[in-house]
Structure 1
Amino acid sequence: MAQPDIEYDLIVTIVNKGFAQEVVEASKKAGAEGGTILQGRGTGIHEKAKLFNIVIEPEKEVILTLIDRKKTERVLDAIMKSGQLDKPGKGIAFVMKVERTVGINHIPAECHPDE
């Protein structure tokens, strides 16, 4: 069965630990179907902390949101607002174009007129 001709983007959002669920909920309200949360570490220019001369890397959460390209701007705006990404040190989000997908088997029936 061929995948329907839907173009996708991947929104990658990096926030401080504890804020990912709020971002996922906001993205769902804006039209996303969900997101995948990964754990990470890292610092930005606003987070250079040291303890006994050892650099501390704060824990982060990385949210991967695969989204129909038609919904990207609306979902990205919701992510920016809920994560307060317009404020220093809160996080970052960026969009990557997805060339191909496989395994997306939950597409609504109206996308499969042959069945």
Structure 2
Amino acid sequence: MKFKVIVVTSRTDLTDRIVDAAKAAGATGATIINGRGAGIHEARTFFGLTLDVQRDVILMLLEQHLVEPVLAAASEAGEFAKPGTGIAFVLDVESVAGLQSQIPKFQETLQKAE
């Protein structure tokens, strides 16, 4: 089996929608990490204090054949066509450990995809 990871950075208010859409498209779960963002637009200030833009980083480890539908669902749910809502990208995964309990589910979805 080949795996990839989808990395999503999103506004915190969109995180639950993104994860729900990704799960509906075939993702089995996600890891969510709090972060803060810096982009091409200046940070907002309030009385001279810079306000950091809070972001969530969502990591989803997927079988290769699920990447496109999950990425499309996350992009739509996250409203990524609008500026400042978030981005997503895919990374190759060389090796994986700790997924023994999920192997039957992976094999089942792989058979359905063929």
TM-score normalised by structure 1 residue count: 0.84
Is the counterpart of residue 80 in structure 1 residue 72 in structure 2?
no
* Amino acid in the other structure paired with 1:93: A
Give the fraction of aligned pairs with identical amino acids, expressed as a percent: 39
> RMSD of aligned C-alpha atoms?
1.7
| Structure 2: segments with no counterpart, 5+ residues | 108-114
How far apart, in 1, do the equivalents of 2:106 and 2:48 lie?
Answer: 60
Count residues with an aligned counterpart: 106
Is the counterpart of residue 28 in structure 1 residue 23 in structure 2?
yes
Aligned residue in 2 for 1:3: none
Q: CA deviation at 1:69?
A: 0.6
Q: Which moved more, 1:51-60 or 1:27-36?
A: 51-60
Largest Rg, 1 or 2 = 1
Aligned residue in 1 for 2:104: 108
Deviations 1:55-96 (A, max 9, x none): 221111111000101110111000000000111110010110
Aligned pairs for 1:1-115 within 5 A: 6-46=1-41, 48-105=43-100, 106-108=102-104, 111=107
